[in-house]
Amino acid sequence: MNELDYVVVALYMGGLLLFGFMLRDQSSEGDYFLGGRSMGWFPLTLSTMATQLSAISFVSAPAFVGLRDGGGLKWLTYEFSLPLAMILVMFVIAPALYRAGIVSIYEFLENRFGRGTRILISASFQIVRSFATGIMVYAMGLILEAVIGIPLWQSLFVVGIITLVYSTSGGMKAVVYGDAIQMFLIFGGLLVVTIYALADIGGMGAFWQQVDTERLVAVDFDDLGLNGDEFGFIPMLFGGFVLYASYYGCDQTQAQRIISAKNLKDTRVLLFANGILRFPLVLLYCFAGLIVGVAVMGDPELASKIPADKPDYMMPIFIVEHLPHGVIGLLLVAIMAAAMSSLSSAVNSLAAVTMEDLSVLGFRPETERKQVVLARSVSVFWGIAILIMSLFAGAIAPTVIEAINKVGSALYGPILAVFLMGILTRRVNGPGASIGLLVGMGFNLYLWKSQPQIFWMWWNFIGLVLTTVVAFVVSAFAKAGTEEAAPESEPSGFADILRSRYTVALVAVFGLIVVISTVLKDAKSWFVP
């Protein structure tokens, strides 16, 4: 990097700080955490996608596809179940949460099951989200360390402080609109890297001649994920469905966007848009990984600069070695934007949950102005905590990808089960829900430590089923002294869901994703005689 690159980065950082300052006026806790429920579906959609994609999409995913042993387009299997999961969130979970008029989605569980269940899941969310975000920020730190050469802790400190200042100043509006801007930066950055890598290779014709055919295989219908194998169609479909439904519907980070929309219609539109727009973007960064991987493998000198045990260095090393100055700065900004969108969203959602939990415990400032001040203070606390966690993220799992998915998969299934039981049935009570949750999470942790041959994506589905069964059994024997409150709102009828144009379109997108992913293995033969 030279002075021009640093100027580009500095201008971006300064712009974010100014952006947060301009949106600093919040008169209440609802304004700070929900943006006054005034935001439309388009910025919320971009924010949702940016938060999900993070720095992983710019670093680890392309490295997995283009360079890592055993990688390739298997990454696309993550997208199989996303459109189907959006249907469940759109018609079952989102209406219940939105109509409840809450800030923390875990308040819904208190209304249904009691305070104990709320506190238990709230604590689980705070643990999962803080660690997962720490891993995302860690991925970004690896990039800055490789590109700029500054120590990991310094890069984390700089990015963390900038993110905290603009997000705590501007609240949810700064987070959402900042994410929207960052989404365009991420997309543009991926396009730029892909174009430069293609130019280095010699164009698409040369790419198809050089790409490893094995890396084009995305779908494996035979592997069940029970004997140490991974990315089989069945575990990715069932486990992925539970993971995404839980993440978008029962994780405060994403669900906060649902309850921030100006009306329920906008929540459905943003979920629908996310369901159809994610795959093209994922396809872009997967092919960016393939193309950059070919460029790297065709340049022995460049390949030698990437440590054999750190394929995540592929993208940053290629950027700094092959792109002109100024463009390097822009791409570094795109990578930082990906990490900052995840960090800002996590900080805001963690603070929202913590604030609401404090009120449950009887601690709440008297005036709305003091509530906003406390909200900002709690945001700063979580930002610092996440940055500290990110320093140790490398010890959680061998790769960033594995780490981020294992943390979520251990808990998402049981959490989704509790929310669905709270919405769909009156037969489960508080003790049943809490015990079921603990059993489900405990069993998944057992699988993590003792059954490595079971693919971690299965943990989501196993946790969902086990939690549900235990909850019903316990509830049947623990009715005395419990209140079986009615669900907050009745979900859409099954027939109505099936007839919805949203459902039809999302099922069609699911089919298209599977077809495209299946035929890609033969793509090389289409272009190379």
In this structure, what CATH number is given to the domain that contains residue 351?
Answer: 1.20.1730.10
Q: At what angle do helices 368-390 and 115-147 cross, to 10 degrees?
A: 50
Identify whether 68 is part of a domain. Answer: yes
Most confident region among 12-21, 34-43, 100-109, 435-444 by mean pLDDT: 435-444
Token pair, residue 474, equals: 């316990």
What average pLDDT score do residues 79-105 get?
91
Gap between the Cα atoms of 13 and 1, Å rounded: 17
Q: What is the tens place of the pLDDT at every residue in 218-257?
A: 888 888 888 877 788 999 999 999 999 998 999 888 888 8
Identify whether 332 is part of a domain. Answer: yes
Gap between the Cα atoms of 235 and 20, Å rounded: 42
Identify whether 299 is part of a domain. Answer: yes
Q: 302: which strand partners? A: none
- Count CB-CB contacts under 10 A for residue 101: 12
pLDDT band for position 89 (50/70/90)?
Answer: very high
- Tell me, what's the pLDDT at 26? 56
Token pair, residue 125, equals: 């969310």
Structural domains in the chain (count): 1
Gap between the Cα atoms of 408 and 406, Å rounded: 5
Gap between the Cα atoms of 286 and 519, Å rounded: 15
Domain that holds residue 43: 3-21+39-104+123-232+260-394+492-523
Q: Find the Cα–Cα–Cα–Cα dihedral 133, 137, 142, 145, rounded to 10°.
A: -160
Q: Which residue has the tokens 């999302």?
A: 506
**Which residue type does 439 have?**
V
Identify whether 98 is part of a domain. Answer: yes
- Tell me, what's the pLDDT at 186? 76
Q: Are 400 and 139 in contact (CB under 8 A)?
A: yes
Q: Is the pLDDT of residue 427 over 70?
A: yes
* Average pLDDT value for the chain: 81
| Secondary structure letter of residue 522 according to DSSP | G
Q: Which residue has the tokens 């179940």?
A: 81
Prediction pTM value: 0.85
Q: Are 245 and 341 in contact (CB under 8 A)?
A: no
Rg (CA), the chain: 23
φ/ψ of 39, rounded to 5, equals -90, 145
Which of 65-69, 154-158, 206-210, 234-238 has the weakest average pLDDT?
154-158
Identify whether 427 is part of a domain. Answer: no
Token pair, residue 350, equals: 């963690």
- Tell me, what's the pLDDT at 398? 47
Q: Is the pLDDT of residue 91 over 80?
A: yes
Integer CA distances (angstroms), 379 to 43, 93, 299, 356, 526, in order = 22, 26, 45, 13, 52
φ/ψ of 426, rounded to 5, equals -105, 0
Identify whether 52 is part of a domain. Answer: yes
Identify whether 363 is part of a domain. Answer: yes
Percent of the chain with pLDDT over 70: 83
Most confident region among 48-62, 292-306, 345-359 by mean pLDDT: 292-306
Which of 270-279, 333-342, 398-407, 467-476 has the weakest average pLDDT?
398-407
Token pair, residue 115, equals: 């305070």
Identify whether 465 is part of a domain. Answer: no
Which of 398-402, 407-411, 439-443, 450-454 has the weakest average pLDDT?
398-402
Q: Give me the sign of the Cα torsion angle 175, 176, 177, 181.
A: positive
Q: Is the pLDDT of residue 99 over 60?
A: yes
Q: What is the tens place of the pLDDT at every residue in 121-130?
A: 888 888 777 7
Q: Is the pLDDT of residue 70 over 90?
A: no
Q: Is the pLDDT of residue 480 over 50?
A: no
Query: Which long-range contacts does 96-99 make (Cβ < 8 Å, 24+ apart)?
Result: 96/422, 96/423, 96/487, 96/488, 96/489, 96/491, 97/249, 97/255, 97/258, 97/259, 98/258, 98/259, 98/261, 98/264, 98/267, 99/264, 99/488, 99/489
